[in-house]
Amino acid sequence: MTHTNTQDLAARWIAAANMTPAMRHLTQSFEAAPGLPHAELDLCLTTQDGVLLWATVFEPATPAHAVALVAPATAVPRHYYRAFARWLCARGYAVLTLDYRGIGESRLAGQPARHISMRDWMQQDLQAALAAVHRRAQATVDTALPTLWIGHSLGGHALAQTQGLERVDAAIGVAAQLPFWRLWPRWHQRLGALFFFGFWLHLCVRLFGGLPGWALGGGEDLPAAAARDWSRWGLMPGYFTSDPTVEVTAHRWAGTAHLWAISDDKVFGPRRAVEALQQAFAGAPGVAELRQISPADLGVRSIGHFGPFRRKIGEQLWPRLLEEMESAVPRLRSFQPRNRSIP
């Protein structure tokens, strides 16, 4: 990719006036390796509160027919979704993934880690990502491209407090939920959830200044303020929709959403918690449908909360997620899917 092509590609997503000389240098320096069947570029997004975030954009070799935002789960870096983003790009989507502030390459976000909250991720970081997606959708010479929000866990339920969600055409929630502790099906699971939200998160913040990755079963450390958000909301019947300090925007949803429950996701996303997210959109003019997938449906032993974006399971799952959404929103699809291996 040449210097000129790199800057042209970046300008599809970010206004040139918003790119500082340092950002231009970084954008040039972290191009994807040659040989890929599409273009990849790392760049910086700027949030409304002035924080710089690392993001990766994926551009198909042929003109894109839709633009997708892949919104990560809690404390999950964007590279976890790279295989999925490449798969989606191979099917004609321009794709953006990002690291939330304090996570992955956005750790040096100019904000003390302990003050980074979940609402920062949802109301600031994803808002900046959505602005870039809308800019990319408007970058075509003809009509604006349709937009697709794909949210994993937090990245899915964040849509319910996003400004401008009425401009999103479609959304796929994967294990996205409103995890109030009473929504776990069995008494010992409810007791475990109550322990986690009511005691474990507070204890870890007090002892370690946040939630260490190992205390969550793996992944990156969770900042203290984010852990406190999680703890407080997990004890509220409507999760953050019960918090009077949160502006819930779900009633403005005007697109089509498929909210996928994973049958063996017993720890983070039980079906009733996914149903609770569906109910948050009940008064909206758009559609929010509950879907469910099980390991038996895919011929695999297990899926769990994080399995949907692993390559081996994705080979079976991703076509189903996308085909059902494109059937519901034909504007997303401009050609018949072709059989391609995952790059």
Q: What pLDDT, on the 0 to 100 scale, is given for residue 339?
A: 43
Nearby residues of 98 by Cβ (< 8 Å), 6 or more positions away: 45, 53, 54, 55, 56, 71, 72, 78, 106, 125, 126, 129
Count structural domains, the chain. 1
The count of other CB atoms within 10 Å of the CB of residue 266 is 15
Structure confidence at residue 142 as a pLDDT band (50, 70, 90): confident
Q: Are strands 210-211 and 222-223 parallel, antiparallel or unpaired?
A: antiparallel
- The confidence score (pLDDT) of residue 35 equals 59
47 pLDDT higher than 50? yes
Residue 210 counted as domain residue: no
What does the pLDDT look like over 223-264, one tens digit per residue? 999 999 999 999 999 999 999 999 999 999 999 999 999 999
Domain residues for the domain of 170 are 3-183+250-332
Predicted confidence at residue 6, as pLDDT, reads: 74
- 241 lies in a domain? no
The full DSSP string for 4-21 is HHHHHHHHHHS-GGG--H
Question: Does residue 113 lie in a domain region?
Answer: yes
Q: Which of 19, 38, 42 is nearest to 29 (CA)?
A: 42
* pTM of the predicted protein model: 0.91
Strand arrangement of the beta sheet that strand 256-262 belongs to: 39-46, 52-59, 93-98, 66-71, 147-152, 170-174, 256-262, 287-293
Residue 209: inside a domain, yes or no? no
Least confident of 24-38, 204-218, 252-266, 303-317: 24-38
3: pLDDT strictly greater than 50? no
In-domain check, residue 340:
no
Q: What is the CATH number of the domain that holds 325?
A: 3.40.50.1820
Mean pLDDT of 169-187: 98
Q: How far apart are CA 85 and CA 79, in angstroms?
A: 9
Whether the Cβ atoms of residue 204 and residue 223 lie closer than 8 Å to each other: no
Q: Is the pLDDT of residue 273 over 70?
A: yes
Helices (H) and strands (E) in the chain, counts: 12, 10
| pLDDT-derived band at 209, boundaries 50, 70, 90 | very high
